[in-house]
Structure 1
Amino acid sequence: MPTRALILLEGHKINGLLYVQAAQRLGLRPITLAANPTQYDYLASEGIKAIRADTDDFDELIHLCSKLDATYGIAGITGFAGLDESLYLTVAKLCRRFELPGPKPVSIARCSDKFTQRQFLAQAGVPVPAYRLAANAMEVESSATEIGLPVILKPAEGSGSRGVRLCRDMDELVKHAKYMLEGAYRSQRSPKILVEEFAEGPFYDVVTMGDAVIAVGAADFDRPPHFVPCASMFPAPLDDEEHGSITEVSLSCLRALGLGWGPGNIEVRWTNRGPLVIEVNARLPGWTTPRLVELAYGVDIINEHIKLAIGVRADLHATHSHTSAARFLVSDRDGFLDRIEGASRAAAVPGIVEVKFYVGPRTPIVRKGDFGDVIGHVIATSPDRTRTEAIIQQAIDQIDWSITPLPLSGE
């Protein structure tokens, strides 16, 4: 009898391989449906079956899944949101269509639109920053005036900090609104911009599974006005009262949005008003977070997510208590990456788990102020927070790279 299939919609350059490996450990055959499978290197290197498909065409996906179900039997369907959160809504609809375990499409839809999400949270009494929805430059300016500068401008749909910017004065506001309305998002049927109060304070990353909080981490970002991640740590350095408050607010988010199945990721700022919810993602967190959670708590959230997707009870009990941390490598300029040195020395530091670069020499670096600006990461772990911080700094000190500026136009 053929091994039953786990269908993965699209892939993930950091966590995709972990999903493939977890599926194989669970005795499943991972099969990826992707618009361009070649962009996920691990599919070819691991010999994973991949099918080119228009992942925006729901009827085509139903047809392909029906054929795969007839051949292998589909045990579960999941996938990755990427830049378009609507892709995870497609996953939810496919699970419903094939009567497989999965999230509720209506709940995923609530989260995919950030304005709708905030409406549900605010109506349920969940503390969120002041916000307005704008469809044109005049509405952006009036909303910012009502809320008070500085404000955050972000697209109402999307992920990876794409298009998110702190606007500290009216000039920055007008310029970024024009960029969003006339440039980057012109292809949208009706571009929608969320104008949001700038919530100042430490940033916390909450990982949930089902109706439970699994982990609370701390994160930091590179230089404003953008929000490019530069550091992450689990668990966050919180006292019991702070941890309890963030946990309570996070559970309120799940109830308000109807998220009682599968993974979730809640972003919180601790302000002078207490915890404010910045965003709820109805999916597994990306980047290095799954690795950090496993290193810190012993809970493999990717493995447990797949178990839920195939109808098996998840085991979310922590088996140990360590501190894990990631440092993200971000270029401070545009240009050509000439060299990267010291990766092997960094990897040799005791306590370092992984040193990974996403780009190689002669790669053009063009910063956009979002997740794509990150060129690599370093992960460390130890039983002690101070020791983990020292380990990762020692590794970072071993790494060096140089960038040659891009030639000016006309040169």
Structure 2
Amino acid sequence: MKESVLVIGTGFQHFREYALRGLAQRYRVVLVARSPLEWELPYVAEYREADLQDEAAVLAAAEDLAARNRIVGVVTWDEWLVAQAAEIGARLGVRSMPTGAARSCRDKAMQRARFQEEGVPSARFHLAASVAEAVAAADEIGYPVVVKPRGQAASIAVTIVHSEAELRETFEVVRGAESPSIGDGLVLIEEFLSGPEIAVDSWVLDGRVEPFSISAKRTDYPPFFEEVAHVVGKVLDSGTEAAVRDVVVAANRALGVDRAVTHTELMLTADGPKVVEVNGRLGGDLIPRLAEIAIPGLSIGGVLGAVATGREPDPIPEPDRLVGIRFLYPGADLTFDDIEVPAALADEPWVHEVRRVSEPGTELRLPPRQFLGRAGYVIATGADIAEIDARLLALADSTTVVGEPLGV
């Protein structure tokens, strides 16, 4: 039987095709997917359909593929499937992310506890089962505090509160936004870390943690932390980058991560870099695709396949440019139709891509009524971060999200 890499879930084409394409260029791909394949077909040798929320069905599909193919690696870039992919690897006898590490990557409170035990710089925290416990935790930590679900991604429902009154208003909203994978009702109350926010993608293999891409994050829609833009490339000075790398290595090792590409989020505080969280999968929001543009010769799929199969990835050079993405939101809740960009602006040489990501007829709402209610995105290059930020804002401000307003 041929050596194959098993992929669990593919995600949306606009956000993950580059990863599957790069993986398929180097490895034979077998896939468990939720529905008949469409855009994935050119990249996949064999697949099985399964409801990705049904763990037994996914395992059965994976075992069926394993009976017909020699699986040498297991990959997922879906946040909700990280723990399940690790369990499948263990059941198939394929070395992959350790199951304990995968569970820690899916629970921010477990991460905080491990960081505390291992001396990894992070936020002070408490778990709260009720508003009263949340208020007591906030009083001990000191306002402002951050209230967040433990198992969500992309900063969904993460909220800063500045007073007890705000905390009382927010607590149940955040608890209601929790991932189904967290069933105990406990909400994370943690210290607010002040400073620029960054993210680091790294490959991890046999205890070696190698950061290869750093991005600067932009958030909006306070008091929430909706992720609206990212800039990838040489975004830090050499001293700060060295300190960040040390913390990223320590955080991944503290969780026992292995055979994975991880996405570690940090705040650059006055006391140095502190970890917000480690995600046990590839970064989202097209950040790794931006890294492919910024770093000569980088194949994200190639890196994924290498670490999944126990091989050291090819050397990754330093970035030689800066590239950024900004997501397009409606000005108010609406039923989406299209996006309109002035032709003169769209034709600028620094505009890399403008794309619609929502289908016409989709209802888009602003936070907190909906998180990640995006109409599309723009990608631009520039000489420095300030120029990219300005260009992305100009593109976003000049782009019209067209649709029919929704009633209150």
Tell me which residue corresponds to 1:367.
366
Alignment of 1:244-263 (within 5 A): 244-263=242-261
Shift of 1:403: 4.6
Give the counterpart letter for 1:234 in structure 2.
V
- Alpha-carbon contact 1:100-1:309 (below 8 Å) kept: no
1:236 deviates by: 4.9
Query: How many angstroms does 1:226 deviate by?
Result: 0.9
Show structure 1 runs of 5+ residues with no match: none
1:329 equivalent in alignment to 2:328 = yes
2:161 is the alignment partner of 1:167: yes
For 1:9-408, what aligned pairs fall within 5 Å after superposition?
9-13=8-12, 14-34=14-34, 37=35, 42-43=39-40, 51-82=48-79, 84=80, 87-181=81-175, 183-185=176-178, 189-210=183-204, 211-298=209-296, 299-318=298-317, 320-342=319-341, 347-369=346-368, 371-381=371-381, 385=385, 388-389=388-389, 392=392, 395-396=395-396, 398-408=398-408
**Over aligned residues, Cα RMSD in angstroms?**
2.8
SS in structure 2 of the partner of residue 42 of structure 1 = coil
Q: SS of the counterpart of 1:191?
A: coil
Match of 2:7 in 1: 8
Query: What is the letter of the counterpart of residue 353 of structure 2?
Result: E
Kindly provide the amino acid, as one letter, of the partner of residue 33 in structure 1. A
* Equivalent position amino acid for 1:121 in 2: F
Q: Is 2:213–2:233's contact at 8 Å kept on the other side of the alignment?
A: yes
Mapped contact 1:333–1:403 kept (Cα < 8 A):
no
TM-score, structure 2 length as denominator?
Answer: 0.88
User: Residue 368 and residue 320 in structure 1: after superposition, are their counterparts in 2 closer, same or farther (change >3 A)?
Assistant: closer
Quote the Cα distance in structure 1 between the aligned partners of 2:27 and 2:280: 26
SS at match of 2:189: strand
| Maintained 8 Å contact 1:349/1:394 | no
CA shift, 1:19, in A, is 2.9
Change in 2 beyond 3 A, CA 1:255/1:342:
same
- With over 3 angstroms needed to count, the CA separation of the structure-2 counterparts of 1:381 and 1:257, relative to structure 1, is same
Distance 1:313 1:236 in 2: 23
**Contact 2:48/2:65 (<8 A) preserved:** no
Q: Distance in 2 between matches of 1:15 and 1:310?
A: 24
Residue 171 of structure 1: CA displacement?
A: 2.3
Instruction: Report Cα offsets for 1:350-380 as digits up to 9, x if no partner.
Output: 1333222211444321234475223221122
Q: Using the alignment, how far apart are the partners of 1:119 and 1:63 within structure 2?
A: 34
Between 307-316 and 153-162, the greater mean CA deviation after superposition: 307-316
Worse-matched range after superposition: 97-106 or 48-57 = 48-57
Larger CA deviation: 234-243 vs 340-349: 340-349
Q: Residue 7 of structure 1 contacts residue 33 of structure 1 at CA under 8 Å; is this kept in 2? A: no
The structure-2 alpha-carbon separation of the partners of 1:47 and 1:77, relative to structure 1 and needing over 3 Å to count, comes to closer
Question: What 5-or-longer segments of structure 2 have no aligned partner?
Answer: none
Q: SS state of the match for residue 217, structure 1?
A: strand
1:27 Cα shift? 4.5
- Write the distance in 2 (CA, Å) between the matches of 1:328 and 1:200: 24
Q: Offset of 1:49 from its aligned partner?
A: 5.8
Displacement after TM superposition at 1:254 (Å): 1.7
CA contact (8 A) 1:43 1:50 kept: no
Where 1:77 maps in the other structure, the secondary structure is strand
Q: Write out per-residue CA displacement over residues 21-66 of structure 1, whole angstroms, 9 at most, x where no aligned residue.
A: 12331252342332xx26x863479888653313344443333223
Amino acid at match of 1:366: R
Instruction: Give the Å deviation of 1:386.
Output: 6.0
Give the letter aligned to residue 289 of structure 2.
R
More displaced 10-residue stretch of structure 1: 220-229 or 359-368 = 359-368
Q: CA deviation at 1:121?
A: 0.6
Residue 133 of structure 1, CA deviation: 0.6
Alpha-carbon distance between aligned partners in 2 of 1:249 and 1:146, rounded to the nearest angstrom: 26
